Amino acid sequence: MFKNNLTFGYVLFVGIPLLILIGTLRAGANLSAPPAVSGEWTIDPAPGNCAGPPDMSIYQTGADVLIALNDPQKTTLAGKLEGGLIAAASTTTGCGGASRLEAALRGNPDTSLWRAGSRSTGATHAPRFRSVQ
C-alpha cells in the first residue's frame, strides 16, 4: 500500500509537470523574438527645411519601441516593430507639427541601415539611420 502511494505521488508531482513542460516547449518552438533595434542611432539628414536631429535613441521592450529624438523639443515617438517594419507616432510638436516615423530594417540588425519617411505637416522626408553600436 505504501508503494502504491509513492507511485501515485511520483506521477502526480513529477510526471504531470513534466508533460506540461514538454507541451509548453513544443508549443513555443516556432516563436521568434523581434530583432533588437534599441540603442543610439545617427541620422543622415535629407534635404529640406526639416532635416531633423543628428541622432536619436531607441528603447525597445519586445515589439514595443519608444524613440527619443535629440531635438530641442525632446520629441518622443511611441510605436511597434512588426515584421521588420517600425511605425511610430508622436502628438508632440517636433519639426512643425505632429510627427510619424515609418522605417524598414535592412540587413543584419547589428549593422543595419534604416530608410524612413517622417511626415510632419504633409511633407515627407527620407533620411538614413545608422546604428552607432
pLDDT at 20 over 50: yes
Q: DSSP string of 10-60?
A: HIIIIIHHHHHHHHHHHHTTT--PPPP--EEEEEEPPSSS----SEEEEEE
Between 3 and 79, the more confident residue is 79
Q: What is the pLDDT of residues 63-122, one digit of tens each?
A: 999 988 887 778 888 999 888 788 888 866 555 555 777 777 776 554 445 555 454 444
Do the beta carbons of residue 13 and residue 31 sit within 8 Å? no
pLDDT at 29 over 80: yes
Distance CA 101, CA 103 (A): 6
pLDDT for the residue 11: 86
Please count the other Cβ atoms lying within 10 Å of the Cβ belonging to residue 52.
24
pLDDT for the residue 97: 53
Do the beta carbons of residue 96 and residue 50 sit within 8 Å? yes
